[in-house]
Structures are given as structure tokens and as C-alpha cells.
Amino acid sequence: MFLFDVMVDLFCLAGYIIMLSGCGAVFEESMNLDYIPVVIFLSIAIVLGLKRGMESLAGLNKFFVSIIFIVTLLAGLISLGQDANIFEELNKLPVERGWLISALIYVSYNITLALVVLASLGTYTPRIRAAVGAAAVGAVGLFVLGFTMWFITVVNFVSLSDVQIPLLWVARRQGNFMYYASVSMLFSAMITTALSLGFSFVQSFSQRFHLSYSYSLNILFIAIPFTGFGFTNLISKIYPLMGVAGMFFAILLILRRFLLIKIE
């Protein structure tokens, strides 16, 4: 499916640009660092970090994912202990129209990228059970983290309407330690996603054009000028578009896999 492969490559590149921009936005908002120099520095660091391919990706993810898991659960526990009537307040929150469509768009986009990343990591282990088990553990971990993030957001929903990065606002109320821990967590979440998407894109790009992996890593620098559009603008424009496209390609995958329809 040439069309699907090209679209997935664009998904990965777009996701990489968004995550790179997000890393710059986190440092700009939390530490008042200049956005563009931070993005350039991180681009160079990512390319150098991926030089060893899958081995370096796995090692970096182990470190950053540990930070994400610990800080997210800690922030959730602190939010739970701040208000004794927290569950009563949850029932009073208004239900916005269009939440189901928004959820489907968001999930379809991320599932498409997750499939690509999992496929690119397929050679990490020759054991099918190990790969399936790792995917299952990862899925459970993501559910726990996602639920905790939802809980933190909903608990502070009334105060977050005009906030660009909600978690940082919540963490600031929980003290300096939690604030800077959350900065580390947000950066870890975005940089691990950027590493995974960058690796998947470069691997596909190198195979498609018969170039060496090390040489193809340089294509990631193309993301730098696109980050100038800003994290919020990229999220609001690209995510919905890619989400709708992800739903379309999910249907194509189902047709190809279960109905044995050949789609080129």
C-alpha cells in the first residue's frame, strides 16, 4: 500500500515536528529560554542520540518513561488529596458536545503512529510472545497514565480554560518540587515521542530511497523551520487533520487484513 506508507511517513514527520515544538514550548514557558535555540539544540541532540539506531532508542526510552510514570502518578495522588469532596465535584462538570468525535480523532491519530512505532521495533526481539507481552504491558501503562492525566485535568477543569499547558499550571499549585518534576515529565513525554517518531520516519526514509540510516538522520533537521508555527498552532491544525486521515486508513487496514482486499 504505497499511499498508506507515504501517509504514515507524513504522520511520523508531522508528529515529530509537533513534539519537537512542544519541547521548545515547555522550556520557553518554564524557564524563559529562547524557543528557536532550544529547538535547534534538541534537534542536534536527537540526531546524535539516534546514531546507534534501535539500541539507543530503547535505552533512552527506558530512562524517560520511568520519569513520566513516577511524576504522573505522584501528581495524581497529590490532586486526590487536595480536596476531600473531589468525586462529588466530578459529577457537576458539564458535558460538552462533540466529545466523542474529538476522542475518536485523537485516538485514531495516535493509534496509527503507535502501529508504525511498534512495527519499526519489530526486529528488537525475535520472540513473538515477548513482543506481544511488551505491547500489552505498554498498553496497560499508557492507560494508567492517560487515566491519571484525565483525572488531574478534570479535577482542575474550571481553572484550566485559558491555560496553554495545563499540567504545568496544576503542578505550580503543588509546589516548586512538583512544578519542576512536571517540567521534566512533560519534556520526557515529548522527547520520547519525538525519538520514536523520528526513528520510525528515518528508518522508512532510508529504506525507501536506499540511503544509509546514519545519512538519513540528517533529514530530521527539516523539522526546525516548521516549529516556527508554534506548538499550539501545530496541535490545533495538524492533529484534527491527521486524526480524520487516521480513521480513513484504519478502515483501509481492516479491509486489507480481514477482507483480503488489495489496496494500492
Per-residue pLDDT of 73-114, as tens digits, reads 888 888 777 655 666 656 666 667 777 887 787 777 777 777
Kindly state whether residue 87 falls inside one of the protein's structural domains: no
Cα–Cα nearest to 203, from 107, 108, 118: 118
Instruction: Tell me, yes or no, whether 89 lies in a domain.
Output: no
The total number of residues written for the chain in this structure: 264
| 110: CB partners within 8 A, 6+ apart | none
Is residue 247 in a domain?
A: yes
264 domain residue, yes or no: no
Dihedral in degrees, nearest 10, Cα atoms 238, 36, 171, 110 = 30
Structural domains counted in the chain: 1
pLDDT at residue 193 in the model: 86
Which amino acid is located at 177 in the chain? Answer: F
pLDDT of 76 reads: 81
The answer to the question of residue 215 being in a domain is: yes
pLDDT in tens, 29-46: 888 899 999 999 999 999
**Regions of the chain short of the pLDDT cut 70:** 1, 54-56, 82-95, 116-125, 161-164, 259-264
The pLDDT value given to residue 20: 94
Say what the pLDDT of residue 34 is: 93
Cell numbers at 224, concatenated = 526546525
Is residue 15 a part of any domain in this protein?
yes
Give residue 204's domain range. Answer: 2-82+97-258
104 domain residue, yes or no: yes
Question: Cell numbers at residue 263, please?
Answer: 489496496
pTM beyond 0.85: no
DSSP string, the chain: -HHHHHHHHHHHHHHHHHHHHHHHHHHHHHH---HHHHHHHHHHHHHHHTTTTHHHHHHHHHHHHHHHHHHHHHHHHHHHHH-TTHHHHHTTSPPPTTHHHHHHHHHHHHHHHHHHHHHHTGGG-S-HHHHHHHHHHHHHHHHHHHHHHHHHHHHTGGG-TT-SSHHHHHHHHT-HHHHHHHHHHHHHHHHHHHHHHHHHHHHHHHHHTT--HHHHGGGGGGHHHHGGG-HHHHHHHHHHHHHHHHHHHHHHHHHHHHS-----
The rounded distance, in Å, linking the Cα atoms of 162 and 164 is 7
User: Quick check: 199 and 54 in contact, CB under 8 A?
Assistant: yes
Any domain includes 263: no
